[in-house]
Structure 1
């Protein structure tokens, strides 16, 4: 009884993240090894440069590229990592030597530690410096690769990619040992042509008994629904001309196309080829350090992929956002593919067999190691609004539209109501309301409905939902009145624009991309340029990147681009223009994005209305929003997160009691007992950890200790 009671008390007092987990039961041993996968690292190289402000180092203290390489070094023995593959797009701008230096320094960690790896050029890695040397070969020459015992050779042939046809393409091969067997890795340069494939065929023919892992920057593609397949631009050609006739190729790994997953194909021998795609460059912060570990379970007959981020593991907890995925849980991120290795390899190596079965489950070991001591981001009860007015009132607010208070003929709309033409979205800051425009041909009154759905940090009571437009031009929208002051506001002292938006779960980039939630109804042509887009617009690309484009009052323009954002989830977007340095910075749910910039100050345009729920081209509304739009606020100067709509007013709003087991409980208790309580909590955590190891001996050995510490904590609470 004491064991059960003590565990419950501990969980309630110090929270689940402070209790040391009991070690897992011993895994069934098998013959296993792992292979590390480093997908497109281009943005780590680009935004780690001094010219880019070293965004990773300045914000987080480290670069994801470095952390990936260091993890591979530190975990090599623990995870039995026999080889590492880099999938190309080592850098983003191949003419930038500083980017190459960042990439070279990261991979040098593997060189110094003797971790064997292959590396290949992607389409972003092509450039010839003034001295006539290719950028890739300058920083990753064959001599560097030859320092690794696995290296077999390098082949260079003319490229076949668009305008880079005269630039050399570097390919290489390696042979590594694992579990008593040898494996051949072919790392083909960007869209390797026939000459390179002939070389690759010679390598395979010279090693007729070896299983082959084929890596290239582009082999597989992925659609909006997550289906993976050979890319039409190159992957299908590679399969038809090379892969299918070589039974030794049992696995391909590639990047380039944004997404992750795998697909299976059948070669000419009737055998399965596993094709893995992994590319996280469009994820938060250019990939957020996500990489892959492939476990070859030779006795268990599976190939197991685990996607993970050692960089997220090392971030300060205060820097985490809900975009930070330590172990992403999407179906294409981590998975297990059945493969009977002996049967699959029998056609070219009938003597193949697994090694000695003395290896643990490295997938389980990896996840356990990463999760130990990691506390994910969470929104605490005290951060949620307690009333419709629980947000910071900011002096200089130019307009604050609240769809949650929308009305028609003076009546508040209810959940599910159609929003007729003439409906009002009030401006609670000054009466510059939005009014739904009259219906156009092809539009429906119920194409906009009222919803009580809203972002959990928005104190507004609802939102407006735009149903899927019936066509590109059949759009429904709201507009400001012709004489509203906001139409002529140019924000000479900078601005902060906030909006809560959500893409519909059925959003499709081909059909719904390039739509906007908010625009100023003037095109560049209205201001003397040849741009048909609105002069300011907040919307979404066909790749699900949030975009803020603005022409400044100083006639400078800039686009901010986010990472690929999710469907069916609310997002808070804040765009801050600071005239001190002419910066334009976008945040999504408080997370700063990579692709910000400088130039504009304020907003150009006077006398032009604002539209809600549509885009426009050359002054004609087109590309309606598909999803929800919540409250929007514009402030006439830059403000920070403590004044955003996601913050609380701090004016006497009741603080909810901490939830049982939440991490807030420990911090609340600390306020009672100061340093004494901190010591007690540490002692209690240590007792719990030891109790977990002792198992059934808990009551005799540690029960009285835990009871005593618990009693002291209870006394401090009183």
Structure 2
């Protein structure tokens, strides 16, 4: 047995203990035999590298007993023979912070799995892999030419700093293919080199990989990126007929776009980037099948890491396979497509099964879909755990004006009150429309609603109609200047909870919005802090639809830190919990009970500028800004790190009714809403 096959056998044995029940998929053996092979695709791995380091608490290993990057490369090695996979491509952003040696060490070990098994691969730098004007970079040090030469397919590298590019030639089904891997926004001299490569091999079909080619909008539509992809198409791809497939990442999401080049021939352009998915990508990778007999290119998006997570850790954000825009099929008559430059191109012997179906069988073998506990519906508006140490518990569903509870759809007048039901007197009132920053605001910008998260025992919520910060003035609620909650610093830790829904018309291109903030400026709390105009604490939604908890601690890292979620869906209620544990000095975020990836280490307490709490906007330079667009439900902050059974989503009444099935906010989240929509920004 060869050393390569022996290593794969050992890896297969090591992974044989994967979890549970088989998910039915189409059988590879039922497909008609054809000439087929596959190509492995590793999209942006930046967060896999970052959060597997000691500096970040090695969160993957700590939570799941494995790391996604290593699991991806090990799976590709284990199954490359079974999937007839001669080659793997990496799309760049190998790491997140290029000046952190530990991240490069993680990437080094993960890619070494391919090398030790003899599975050839290309790699290229993304924008997150570059950081200096020094004579060499960590990318070129970790992945030098000498390392690339370990691949039997390697031919040559263009070695300009920060634009390192390389090309490979691999053989499959009796035919040769050229892979051209272009470095970050390859400059003209790199494109000149790339052109010389194609000119030296005028009869080879070319697969071009680059970190950035396609972008994606909020509706999941993909298009050439204005910053680079359009230029690359116009000046290079379109007039090189040999390029029939391009693959890129950088912009968060997945999809494909078939375009005609200058010769009237199809070019399949692929976007695949899952860094904003749950757990920084959740181990998702691409498998592209080339069916030379039937003339098809098939993409399958799958996660070998999800299939190996401990069963008890799985939740509604875990998907072993993605469908829709993520997995697709495109017709391409290869012999006809390549006729002008490779007239002798022909399919190999028709003796291969459907490798896409086989990959699905492999990744789902022994896997059991998570059985999501949807929780129990509240029996009444008091069916929640009352917690000693509660500082404030605001219930927007019980908003009143002149002592009268507002009805569904009623506009909320100035001075309307969101009650603090903790008994501590921290009520919030709607700020007058004449207040700073509110010019242009209307009463009907905020309305009462009976809509709420089904696990909230409040009777409703408040809805803000702002489209973006430039459309209207701001409308917000705030505590009184002398409210007791204003000065609390929570040095014994805290648990902050809220229920929020992002409006379906949220526009990420024009909006960064705040839900709840602590007023004042963090620069008044900590001297010399960066961006001192920021508030001491704020729950916000970024233009990429990430939930952000940004706060200044009272001890530990007081420079201002942020928890970031994965990309969350629009028009669906979310329960958000932020837990500061004083014993570990950590701040963890949970979305619908699932732990997010980018948490905070070395942080305790919540600094105060002795200013009010605010709902419906963020703060900047002492004034409200970035208005909320959507709904906000009940919100509570308590002393101490609360376990889940004490959260507002938990029940206390024994006669509370189980939900009649997995609740809609858990079951209706498709891969497209969680992974591929609303993200038109660059990699962050």
TM bin (shorter chain):
0.7 to 0.9
Structure 1 residue 481: Cα displacement: 2.6
Distance 1:406 1:98, change over 3 A: same
Q: What is the CA–CA distance in structure 2 between the aligned matches of 1:212 and 1:57, rounded to whole Å?
A: 38
| 1:438-517 → structure 2 map (5 Å cutoff) | 438-440=432-434, 441-469=439-467, 471-472=469-470, 474-513=473-512, 515-517=513-515
Partner residue of 1:238? 232
Q: Structure 2 matches for 1:234-383, cutoff 5 A?
A: 234-329=228-323, 331-380=324-373, 382-383=375-376
Provide the aligned length of Structure 1 versus Structure 2: 631
User: Residue 157 of structure 1 contacts residue 195 of structure 1 at CA under 8 Å; is this kept in 2?
Assistant: no
SS in 2 for 1:157: coil
SS at match of 1:286: helix
1:618 counterpart (618, 621, 625): 621
Q: Is the 8 A contact 1:525 1:618 kept in 2?
A: no
Query: Which position in structure 2 is the counterpart of 1:637?
Result: 640
* Structure 2 residue 382 is matched with structure 1 residue 389: yes
Do 1:549 and 1:557's aligned partners in 2 also have CA atoms closer than 8 Å?
yes
- Aligned position for 1:220: 214
Alignment of 1:590-629 (within 5 A): 590-605=593-608, 607-629=610-632
SS at match of 2:495: strand
Residue 461 and residue 510 in structure 1: after superposition, are their counterparts in 2 closer, same or farther (change >3 A)?
Answer: same
Return closer, same or farther for 1:69/1:219 CA change in 2, 3 Å cut-off. Answer: same
Q: What SS class does the counterpart of residue 321 from structure 2 fall into?
A: coil
Contact 1:556–1:600 under 8 Å retained in 2: no
Q: CA deviation at 1:471?
A: 4.9
**Alpha-carbon offset, residue 88 of structure 1:** 1.2
In the TM superposition, 1:46-57 aligns within 5 A as 46-57=50-61
Residues 111, 22 of structure 1: alpha-carbon distance in 2 compared, 3 angstrom cutoff = closer
The Cα of 1:374 is off from its aligned counterpart by 3.0
Superposed CA deviations along residues 675-696 of structure 1, whole A, max 9, x for unmatched, are: xxxxxxxxxxxxxxxxxxxxxx
Distance in 1, matches of 2:248 and 2:43, equals 8
* Structure 1 unaligned blocks of 5 or more: 1-16, 160-168, 661-718
Q: 1:95 to 1:334 in 2, by over 3 A?
A: same
Q: C-alpha distance in 1, partners of 2:465/2:26?
A: 50
Matching residue of 1:28: 32
What secondary structure sits across from 2:164 in the alignment?
A: strand
The runs of 5 or more residues in structure 2 that have no matched partner are 1-19, 663-684
Partner of 1:511, secondary structure, is coil
Deviation track 1:472-514 (CA, whole Å, cap 9, x = no partner) reads 451212222333211222223221111111111111123221x
Contact 1:558 1:599 survives alignment (8 Å): no
Contact 1:398 1:429 survives alignment (8 Å): yes
The Cα shift of 1:632 comes to: 0.5
Greater mean deviation of Cα atoms: 481-490 or 40-49: 481-490
Q: How does 1:659-698 map to 2 (within 5 A)?
A: none
Query: Does the C-alpha gap of structure 1 residues 201 and 20 become closer, same or farther in structure 2, counting only changes over 3 Å?
Result: closer
SS at match of 2:349: coil
Structure 1 contact 495–637 (Cα < 8 Å) conserved: yes
Given that 2:515 and 2:615 are in contact with CA atoms closer than 8 Å, whether structure 1 keeps it comes out as: yes
Taking the aligned partners of 1:87 and 1:489, their CA distance within structure 2 comes to 47
CA gap of 1:609–1:368, structure 2 versus 1, over 3 A, is: same
1:323 counterpart SS class: coil
CA distance in 1, matches of 2:487, 2:148: 61
CA distance in 2, matches of 1:48, 1:437: 45
Instruction: State the Cα distance separating 1:598 from its structure 2 match.
Output: 3.8
- State which structure, 1 or 2, has the greater radius of gyration over its C-alpha atoms: 1
Q: What's the CA shift for 1:362? A: 2.2
Match of 2:548?
A: 547
Of 394, 397, 412, which aligns to 2:405? 412
Match of 2:15 in 1: none
| Corresponding position of 1:533 | 534
The structure whose residues are more often helix, as a share, is: 1
Q: TM-score, normalised by structure 2?
A: 0.86
Partner of 1:151: 154
* Residues in 1 aligned to 2:209 and 2:603: alpha-carbon distance in whole angstroms: 43
Q: Which of 167, 171, 194 is the equivalent residue of 1:173?
A: 167
Stretch moving more, 332-341 or 46-55:
332-341
Q: 1:22-61: CA deviations, max 9, x gaps?
A: 9758223322211110011111111111122111111111
How far apart are residue 247 of structure 1 and its match? 0.5
Change (3 A) 1:268 1:23: closer
Query: What is the Cα deviation at residue 581 of structure 1?
Result: 4.5
* Deviation digits for residues 185-221 of structure 1 (CA, Å, limit 9, x no counterpart): 1112222223322222222122211110011112222
Moved more, 271-280 or 417-426: 417-426
Partner of 1:572: 575
Task: Check the 8 A contact 1:489/1:606 in 2, yes or no.
Answer: no
**SS of the residue 1:74 aligns to:** helix
